[in-house]
Amino acid sequence: MRERRRLRVTGTVQGVGFRPFVYRLAADLGLSGWVGNDSLGVVLEAEGPVDALDLLAERLVAEAPPLARIESVDAEPQVPTGETGFTIVDSRAAGAPAVAVPVDVATCADCERELFDPFDRRFGYPFINCTNCGPRYTIIRSIPYDRAATTMAGFTMCADCRREYEDPADRRFHAEPTCCPVCGPQLSLLSPDGGVLAKASEALDAGVALLNDGRILAVKGLGGYHLACDATDDAAVAELRRRKARDDKPFALLVDLPTARALCHLSPEAEAALTSPRRPIVLAPRTGTGVAAGVAPNLPELGLMLAYTPLHVQLLAGCRRPLVMTSGNLSDEPIAHDDTDALTRLGPMVDAILTHDRGIHIRCDDSVVRAVARRVQMVRRSRGYAPEPIGLPTTAHRHVLAVGAELKSTVAVAKGDTVVASHHIGDLEHLAAYRSFLQAVDHLCSLTGVTPEVVAHDLHPEYLSTKFAADLELPAVGVQHHHAHIASCLVEHGHTEPVVGLAFDGLGLGTDGTAWGGELLVADLDGFRRVGHLRQVALPGGDRAAREPWRMAMAWLAATLGPDEAERYGSAVDDRWAAVLGLAQRPDVLRTSSAGRLFDAVAALLGLRTRITYEAQAAIELEAAAAGQPLAGPGGYELDIGIGPEGLLLDPGPLLATVVAERDKGVPVGQISAGFHGGLGRGAATAAARVAAENGLDTVALSGGVFQNARLTDVVVTELEASGLRVLVHRLLPPNDGGVSVGQAAIAARRLR
């Protein structure tokens, strides 16, 4: 079968003869297509037989030129074009998709060398950048991308910078944000009320001294402000939690590579992600000590990132210790990126503000990936990834705007054969996030040249995104939440055939008015049928049930083991148990089949957490409790699979009975957690395999926020593959609601054919 793939190779792949190497390899394998450089490395498209394409990906790594160091190879399916011959294209054309707004790229090795070279004219200058690195998406006001359209417009290049910029042989040839200490932005250190304490290198030195002294600093980065402190200082970390009003949610750490290796187990995949020019935060299993316990309470993982701006490089070099770098905001508000706003919001929380006069046009949070056994999973796709286009396995004949869901919001636009997802916007429940959503829509449309002709939205009428869509007065396509989840997974795999979709999620409105979240669908981009689901229980207290997992424990106990068992549990954990038990038994209370809420219930039953302080905390801690346990878990945990009015009914009743019985016997929580994960995962896989057999399907797609759980994902994937099924899991997009906009866009594009 003939296929076309786009491969992106990152690492040291420019100036080492990589493009001619790819050209020879493609010729050897009889593939057509092209290869070029772009800001992240080398990008190529190749078309031909599947086995030749597989060989290409293998040989790219195995036979790479001696000076090349490959960090990652990402493959993405494309629609075959029937192109013949293979060419080396110039850098500009390599951004092949119609929309090519570059992403922000971490400081390159050449620039870092100059930063520390006392004889270089940019020695110690924290805004050093070049053609291969520096700010892009966050400083671009409009397209086409040139200096006048960026927040660098106000800085007139000096004669030296201009000469480099105009010299095709210079490594700053047409580097739009290029600058130097003579002509570019300057650093300043401000007091919390905005008074200037120091400028330029003195500002940096004073900032470093404050951090080393246990103080809390706001630091202006690439896509917004961070709050920073010494990560080894218990008191500083505790004080930061207090001022930010953040109870338990883990803080990310800015570290150098040796420290990262000392703190965490880094698989080759994790290290590749960590060192890639996209520089996401990498969640990896911790192995070492050396940071304050308050950095990531109760969790076996740490979030690490390497420096990605010259300023971060200098802060680390000055402090010589891991630094907390957490988004500059109060609790769940959007990250501060505007200078005036930052002073108002962050001033009261910090001892000083390390800032500069290069504007951030659009906020962009750090991206987050999670390193799990032999792969890396996207958790938050933002800086370094957005707004990189994703191939659409269908053509959008009209411009589509997809407005996403509500939590972890992103928006997306589709035109032609690509879809572009925005940066992470956040939870639209907050007014400030809604304002940020409006900006994101405008910015994304203008950067991609999209004038929305159709809007795709969630079915939930109360989401602010849905209301926004209704106000646009455009043809609208309402997309069921879990259909959008599964579609997002199909998009990234370029899959257009029907699949079994297993959507394990928090809450999403179903077509029957109940809250779905444990769904088996037969779906493609055109539509879906619900062919099974988790048993439904009451959601006692609506939104409060998500914040107070003990309520879900009450609902599940009442439904499966009876009200006496619910009373026994509830009366020991909360005074309001009788009222909640009443709600759990009322037939008119909103019902849910949410898998996420089932995890909450089990976490609560095991005494891990009755109330949460950040989204999915109970489920995250339940997975964490099972760390080190064998994947299969102990026996005796069984999901019952029966037939309900809407296909298969997955009943966790027997599973919960075992959980409760084992807990009462005093079996360690980690072992029970592993049993629960194993039982639920095996049961879900069995049900999905049955649906596949009954419908003549050979592929299962997994999506929904619950699949951020690596243990559950591994159980399900292992079981399905053992049954001979092909399994599609997310790699480019997060399985959570951050990916929903892309699924919506694809479904709308398809519906308009």
Active-site amino acid positions: 19, 37
CA atoms of 155 and 153, how far apart (whole Å): 6
CA atoms of 111 and 123, how far apart (whole Å): 10
Which of 524, 411, 490, 484 lies closest to 743, judged by CA? 484
Instruction: Say how many Å lie between the first and final Cα of the chain, rounded.
Output: 25
Segment interacting with Fe ion, rule: CB under 5 A, options 277-285, 387-395, 409-417, 507-515: 507-515
The number of beta carbons lying within 10 Å of the beta carbon of residue 40 is 26
Which of Fe ion, Zn ion, none binds 737 (CB below 5-8 Å, type-dependent)? Fe ion
Residue 122 CB, shortest distance to Zn ion, in Å, is 9
Which of Fe ion, Zn ion, none binds 183 (CB below 5-8 Å, type-dependent)? Zn ion
Residue 296 CB, shortest distance to Fe ion, in Å, is 25
173-212 positions binding Fe ion, by CB under 5 A: none
Q: Which helix (H) or strand (E) holds 457?
A: strand 454-458
Residue 481 CB, shortest distance to Fe ion, in Å, is 6
Q: Are 630 and 681 in contact (CB under 8 A)?
A: no
Strand order through the sheet with 412-421? 412-421, 390-402, 454-458, 476-479
Q: Which two tokens stand for residue 411?
A: 């928006």
Q: Which helix (H) or strand (E) holds 618?
A: helix 617-625
Which of 215, 737, 748, 752 forms a contact with Fe ion (CB under 5 A)? 737
User: For residues 608, 611, 612 and 616, what is the CA-based torsion angle, rounded to 10 degrees?
Assistant: 70
Instruction: Pick the closer one to Zn ion by CB: 133 or 554.
Output: 133
Residue 551 CB, shortest distance to Fe ion, in Å, is 20
CA atoms of 22 and 64, how far apart (whole Å): 9
Residue 267 CB, shortest distance to Fe ion, in Å, is 28
CA atoms of 540 and 557, how far apart (whole Å): 12
Q: What are the residues facing 74 on neighbouring strands?
A: 8
Query: Burial level of 570, CB count in 10 A (0-12/13-18/19+)?
Result: buried
Instruction: Pick the closer one to Fe ion by CB: 104 or 505.
Output: 505
Instruction: Pick the closer one to Zn ion by CB: 14 or 594.
Output: 14
Residue 241 CB, shortest distance to Fe ion, in Å, is 28
CA atoms of 260 and 262, how far apart (whole Å): 5
Instruction: Pick the closer one to Zn ion by CB: 162 or 374.
Output: 162
626 contact partners, CB below 8 Å, separation of at least 6: 633, 670, 673, 674, 677, 711
CA atoms of 171 and 174, how far apart (whole Å): 9
Which residues make up the interface to Zn ion (CB under 5 A)?
A: 108, 111, 130, 132-133, 158, 161, 180, 182-183
Q: Are 522 and 542 in contact (CB under 8 A)?
A: no
Which of Zn ion, Fe ion, none binds 108 (CB below 5-8 Å, type-dependent)? Zn ion
Q: Which helix (H) or strand (E) holds 247?
A: none
CA atoms of 603 and 624, how far apart (whole Å): 11
Segment interacting with Fe ion, rule: CB under 5 A, options 336-344, 498-506, 635-643, 681-689: 498-506
Interaction of residue 519 with Fe ion, rule CB under 5 A: no
DSSP state for residue 381 in the 8-state scheme: -
Which of Fe ion, Zn ion, none binds 158 (CB below 5-8 Å, type-dependent)? Zn ion
CA atoms of 333 and 321, how far apart (whole Å): 28
Which of 505, 600, 714, 719 forms a contact with Fe ion (CB under 5 A)? 505
Instruction: Pick the closer one to Fe ion by CB: 311 or 378.
Output: 378
Angle at CA 479, nearest 5°, toward 474 and 483? 155
Which of Zn ion, Fe ion, none binds 161 (CB below 5-8 Å, type-dependent)? Zn ion
CA atoms of 108 and 12, how far apart (whole Å): 10
Residue 227 CB, shortest distance to Fe ion, in Å, is 29
Q: Are 431 and 451 in contact (CB under 8 A)?
A: no
Which of Zn ion, Fe ion, none binds 104 (CB below 5-8 Å, type-dependent)? none
CA atoms of 198 and 215, how far apart (whole Å): 16
Instruction: Pick the closer one to Zn ion by CB: 22 or 111.
Output: 111
Which of Fe ion, Zn ion, none binds 386 (CB below 5-8 Å, type-dependent)? none
Number of residues that bind Fe ion (CB under 5 A): 3
Instruction: Pick the closer one to Fe ion by CB: 508 or 647.
Output: 508
587-626 positions binding Fe ion, by CB under 5 A: none
Instruction: Pick the closer one to Fe ion by CB: 135 or 705.
Output: 705
Which of Fe ion, Zn ion, none binds 500 (CB below 5-8 Å, type-dependent)? none
Residue 20 CB, shortest distance to Zn ion, in Å, is 23
Which of Fe ion, Zn ion, none binds 505 (CB below 5-8 Å, type-dependent)? Fe ion
Instruction: Pick the closer one to Fe ion by CB: 355 or 465.
Output: 465
23 contact partners, CB below 8 Å, separation of at least 6: 35, 86, 87, 88
Residue 505 CB, shortest distance to Fe ion, in Å, is 4
Q: Which two tokens stand for residue 402?
A: 């997809």
Binding site for Fe ion (CB under 5 A): 505, 508, 737
